[in-house]
Amino acid sequence: KASIHRICSGQVILDLATAVKELVENSLDAGATSIEVKLKEHGGDAIEVSDNGSGVSSDNYQVFFLSLDLFGLTLKYHTSKLSDFSDLQSLTSFGFRGEALSSLCSLADVSILTRTKEDETGTRISYNRAGLIVSKETAARQVGTTVTVSKLFSPLPVRHKEFLRNVRREYSRMIAILQAYALISKNVRLVCTNLVGKSSRSTILRTQGGSVRENIVTIFGPKTMACLDPMDISLPEDLSIEGFVSKPGSGSGRGSSDRQFFFVNGRPVDLPKFSKLLNELYKSFNSQQYPMAVLNFRLPTTAYDVNVTPDKRKLFLHSESSFMDGLRNALGNLYAPSKY
Ligand code: ADP
Ligand code: MG
């Protein structure tokens, strides 16, 4: 039974990037204004995410709860965020299925240290692979939560070996995803550091939580910002696209599309079709470089489904073709040869 759970969990926590993403989303959902991601050995040894959010209240310490349904006693994932799936349309939090922490428990050693504003002290809780609480003790902590995930994938020897072998690659993807959250988070300070061997901890990312423009400057530097044009497209039916794209002829300086960030109502997502469109239009008028893009698609929450893949990175836009046309027109104007 435990192994079935592990197979399922593998779908939510695919890699280092999704592990860190889920933890950061939990911090954002908890209203944190400061989030620190501390890695050991690029995450291969440990991942620790600390925030100054609401903390976990004692009735939410468990990651599973027992429920009775028609077929008898079942284990369900615990979430404090959504009790009724009909709420899904009006969803404003990142999490809603309560799968991330339980998946992490089955794939790693997990403990949390947390304190709400009602608590007099912090509490440290460790979980076993089944997601059950194995120890609970008081410990000093400001209001907020620290989740520590050690030895990710160690219960799956083959995946674990592969993880350690490819940890640098997984690490780069994780950074790209963290950068996306850092770019779009206007009121959140985000820090990511890494510790390798006995050397000192190095800072990989540090933002102050300013405007998207300010966040671009802090992450990529003023020179990168100078190569971007603002974009602001309004489309019918309350649709709009806002952000920045590479100026004609001044690509990202990179031979890959790793500097393209898409958001839907501020939620970082993969929009491969839009990325492809952007690359094609850019290349037809420009160099062999890939353009950089930081684009937020805004639309009514009723006009998309997030629940398409477990990692919630892909979604279904009901008005995809309007967005495609809008972006094609705007980029066509921007990248037309007459602009040179
Ligand atoms: P979900 O986010 O879908 O609810 P998770 O497994 O990611 O599911 O988290 C389970 C629950 O643990 C959350 O609903 C929340 O109550 C609590 N939680 C997890 N991380 C934090 C955090 N950083 N701060 C406050 N509460 C948290
Ligand atoms: Mg979550």
For residue 29, give the CATH number of its domain: 3.30.565.10
User: Could you tell me if 30 and 175 lie in one domain?
Assistant: yes
User: Could you tell me if 166 and 280 lie in one domain?
Assistant: no
User: Could you tell me if 275 and 166 lie in one domain?
Assistant: no
| pLDDT tens digits along 190-229 | 999 999 998 889 999 999 999 999 999 999 999 999 999 9
User: Alpha helices, DSSP H only, in 30-82?
Assistant: none
- The DSSP 8-state label assigned to residue 325 in this structure reads H
Residue 146 CB–ligand 1 contact under 6 Å: no
User: Could you tell me if 139 and 271 lie in one domain?
Assistant: no
Strands 189-195 and 34-40, bridge-based pairing: parallel
Ligand 1 atom at minimal distance to the Cα of residue 78: 10
Residue pair 267/233 in contact (Cβ under 8 Å)? The answer is no
Burial readout 5-24 (b: 16 or more C-beta within 10 A, e: otherwise):
bbeebbebbbbbbbbbbbbb
User: Could you tell me if 183 and 231 lie in one domain?
Assistant: no
Ligand 1 atom at minimal distance to the Cα of residue 144: 24
Residue pair 55/79 in contact (Cβ under 8 Å)? The answer is no
User: Could you tell me if 188 and 294 lie in one domain?
Assistant: no
User: Could you tell me if 136 and 40 lie in one domain?
Assistant: yes
CATH number of the domain bearing residue 317: 3.30.230.10
Q: Is residue 53 part of a domain?
A: yes
Q: Is residue 213 part of a domain?
A: no
Classified as helix, coil or strand, 57 is coil
| pLDDT tens digits along 300-310 | 877 777 665 66
Residue of the CA atom closest to atom 5 of ligand 1: 98
User: Could you tell me if 202 and 244 lie in one domain?
Assistant: no
Residue of the CA atom closest to atom 26 of ligand 1: 56
Classified as helix, coil or strand, 164 is helix
Q: Which ligand is nearest to the CA of 99?
A: 1
Q: Is residue 177 part of a domain?
A: yes
**What residue numbers bound the domain in which 325 lies?**
227-339
Classified as helix, coil or strand, 292 is coil
Instruction: Count the domains in the chain.
Output: 2
Residue pair 251/291 in contact (Cβ under 8 Å)? The answer is yes
CA of 230 to the centre of ligand 2 (A): 32
Q: What's the predicted TM-score (pTM) here?
A: 0.89
* Residue 1 pLDDT: 45
DSSP characters over 178-207? HHHHHHH-TT-EEEEEEE-TTSPPEEEEEE
User: Could you tell me if 252 and 302 lie in one domain?
Assistant: yes
> Using CA atoms, how far apart are residues 144 and 183, in angstroms rounded to an integer?
22
Cα four-point dihedral sign 13, 17, 20, 26? negative
Ligand 1 atom at minimal distance to the Cα of residue 97: 3
User: Is the ipTM, as predicted for this complex, more than 0.90?
Assistant: yes
Q: Give the mutation target among 36, 51, 101 for probing the ligand 1 site: most ligand atoms within 8 A of CB.
A: 101
> Using CA atoms, how far apart are residues 325 and 288, in angstroms rounded to an integer?
24
Residue 243 CB–ligand 1 contact under 6 Å: no
**What percent of the chain stands above pLDDT 90?**
60
User: Could you tell me if 134 and 255 lie in one domain?
Assistant: no
